[in-house]
A and B are shown apart, each in its own frame.
Chain A
């Protein structure tokens, strides 16, 4: 799987990494049981500080998506393991609020917004 980050983006690198990994799992490029490289190897490949990669891994572990294996990297957890972690609905709503608010302000209807959401999910599921 290819990871791509933009060093000049406003989004911090560790967040970009986490997002890419999460998206990779959503798309099926990474499946539960797959391993992620060690912090050192990943950081060396990208040419970024080890702390950046480590922060990303810890962020993902906190969300319950991966399990860090000391010295050798991390493992993707299965959806069953992830969903046990706790209520995700709150986080989802908080994350969506700014985006949906802007969409409404710009003039999109409920149907249009829902259609766009479906499109994104289709893209992840490989249906486009």
Chain B
């Protein structure tokens, strides 16, 4: 059973990683900004194709090996997990290595052909874009938090009848396999951790809302469509994640209070269903946003180009721009948001919840 989970996850990762070059924003090739006129160059299309083919092929081989190895040797769960996790890291490292290889080649070509030479660099903003923004308001993220507080209060009310050993981890079959002694903190540990995660997602949504809507002077329509799609779908996806996590965690908390809340089948199916919904949601999100700027740009004015932001993007992956008040910006290699590492607020949104959760888990 654990094997099936790993197999699905590796398959999912392989598909995503090989599709990435075709889902990134139009004007960026392997983390390097490229003028619209060169975006569909044969060489770049070849780069993307080779990257995808190699990632897909190596992953396919790994998956086939994994499948046969598991069925022939029937290894113990720990060994399977070790091999499965190694394959996952292998795919990530392979993708990263290929990315840097093609990133280097693109940087080289850009430098050799001097594309920025005769263009007037401009920065653009569309004042009417925000009116069309469809992100959810931050207050919506309070709703799942109310449910969590409800579960918290219910747990406190039921404290006397809680078992002496409180589950802290559930295995692949949905049954608890690690426990901690009952005390006022450990009893409500799970709803508290959930609350922290919900607060983090609310903060993410709020700060993404406040982050800039970045449009291009050369491809105004395409970039605006993509930015608005990214904002809308990531907002909704984050909300759905918050709701799903609330349901999952609340269910486990309630099953601690009422030991025979659900039969074995339900305990087993719930995390699986959760995983499948999340993976499906991720694919929908990636495709919706990734294909939002597919259409070729109808270039409005000649002789102008977008301000080259390559210098702010370290390795084409990490955005560092002190002048930009945005907390999040759109990723260059991937679909979604990444932090502006020059803005301290971003670090807080990520690190503070982690620290609190660690504190809750180990105290």
Instruction: Indicate with 1 or 0, residue by residue over A1-27, a CB within 8 angstroms of chain B CB atoms.
Output: 111111110000000000000000000
Q: Does A45 contact B (CB under 8 A)?
A: yes
- Tell me the total A-B contact number using a CB cutoff of 8 A: 73
Residues of chain A within 8 A (CB-CB) of B325 are 40, 43-44, 49-50
Q: Check A4–B217 contact: CB distance below 8 A.
A: yes
Q: Does B210 contact A (CB under 8 A)?
A: yes
Q: Does A124 contact B (CB under 8 A)?
A: no
Known: A45-B212, A47-B212. A7 touches B130 (CB 8 A): no
Residues of chain A within 8 A (CB-CB) of B324 are 43-44, 47-48
Q: Check B220–A44 contact: CB distance below 8 A.
A: no
Q: Check B120–A45 contact: CB distance below 8 A.
A: no
Residues of chain A within 8 A (CB-CB) of B211 are 44
Instruction: Indicate with 1 or 0, residue by residue over B184-215, a CB within 8 angstroms of chain A CB atoms.
Output: 00000000000000000000000000111111
Q: Does B121 contact A (CB under 8 A)?
A: yes
Instruction: Indicate with 1 or 0, residue by residue over B118-135, a CB within 8 angstroms of chain A CB atoms.
Output: 001111111111100000
Name the distance in Å between B331's Cβ and chain A's nearest Cβ.
16
Q: Does A64 contact B (CB under 8 A)?
A: no
Q: Check B214–A47 contact: CB distance below 8 A.
A: yes
Chain B contributes a number of interface residues (CB within 8 A of A) equal to 26
Q: Does A37 contact B (CB under 8 A)?
A: yes
Q: Check B323–A41 contact: CB distance below 8 A.
A: no
Within 8 A of B (CB), among A25-53: 36-37, 40-50
Q: Check B125–A3 contact: CB distance below 8 A.
A: yes
Q: Which of A2, A8, A42 is close to B124, meaning CB atoms less than 8 Å apart?
A: A2
The listed residue with most B CB atoms (<10 A of its CB), out of A2, A6, A36, is A2
Residues of chain A within 8 A (CB-CB) of B213 are 44-45
Residues of chain A within 8 A (CB-CB) of B220 are 2
Residues of chain A within 8 A (CB-CB) of B130 are 37, 41
Q: Does B321 contact A (CB under 8 A)?
A: yes
Complex CA gap A122/B211 in Å reads: 38
Q: Which residue from chain A places its CB closest to the CB of B304 in the assembled complex?
A: A4
Q: Check B212–A49 contact: CB distance below 8 A.
A: no
Name the distance in Å between B95's Cβ and chain A's nearest Cβ.
28
Known: A45-B212, A47-B214. A4 touches B127 (CB 8 A): no
Residues of chain A within 8 A (CB-CB) of B100 are none
Q: Check A5–B122 contact: CB distance below 8 A.
A: yes
Q: Does B237 contact A (CB under 8 A)?
A: no
Residues of chain B within 8 A (CB-CB) of A43 are 212, 324-325
Within 8 A of A (CB), among B304-363: 307, 309, 321, 323-326
Name the distance in Å between A117's Cβ and chain B's nearest Cβ.
25
Chain A contributes a number of interface residues (CB within 8 A of B) equal to 21
Residues of chain B within 8 A (CB-CB) of A2 are 124-127, 220
Residues of chain B within 8 A (CB-CB) of A49 are 323, 325
Q: Which of A1, A7, A36, A40 is close to B123, meaning CB atoms less than 8 Å apart?
A: A7
Q: Which residue from chain B places its CB closest to the CB of A2 in the assembled complex?
A: B126
Name the distance in Å between A9's Cβ and chain B's nearest Cβ.
9
Q: Check B127–A6 contact: CB distance below 8 A.
A: no
Name the distance in Å between B137's Cβ and chain A's nearest Cβ.
15
Instruction: Indicate with 1 or 0, residue by residue over B126-170, a CB within 8 angstroms of chain A CB atoms.
Output: 111110000000000000000000000000000000000000000
Q: Check B121–A8 contact: CB distance below 8 A.
A: yes
Q: Check B321–A47 contact: CB distance below 8 A.
A: yes
Residues of chain A within 8 A (CB-CB) of B126 are 1-3, 45
Name the distance in Å between A17's Cβ and chain B's nearest Cβ.
9
Q: Check A46–B122 contact: CB distance below 8 A.
A: no
Known: A36-B127, A41-B130, A41-B210. A6 touches B121 (CB 8 A): yes
The listed residue with most B CB atoms (<10 A of its CB), out of A5, A36, A41, is A41
Q: Which residue from chain B places its CB closest to the CB of A35 in the assembled complex?
A: B127
Instruction: Indicate with 1 or 0, residue by residue over B209-248, a CB within 8 angstroms of chain A CB atoms.
Output: 0111111010010000000000000000000000000000
Name the distance in Å between B120's Cβ and chain A's nearest Cβ.
6
Name the distance in Å between A124's Cβ and chain B's nearest Cβ.
18
Write the residues of chain A forming the contact surface with B, with a CB cutoff of 8 angstroms: 1-8, 36-37, 40-50
Counting from the closest, the 3 A-B pairs by CB-CB distance are A44-B212, A45-B125, A45-B212
> Besides the contacts A36-B127, A47-B212, what 7 more A-B pairs have beta carbons closer than 8 Å?
A1-B126, A2-B220, A4-B124, A8-B121, A45-B126, A46-B125, A47-B324
Task: List 15 contacting pairs A-B, 8 Å CB cutoff, sorted by A.
Answer: A2-B124, A2-B126, A2-B220, A5-B123, A7-B123, A8-B121, A41-B210, A43-B324, A44-B210, A44-B211, A44-B326, A45-B129, A45-B212, A47-B212, A47-B323
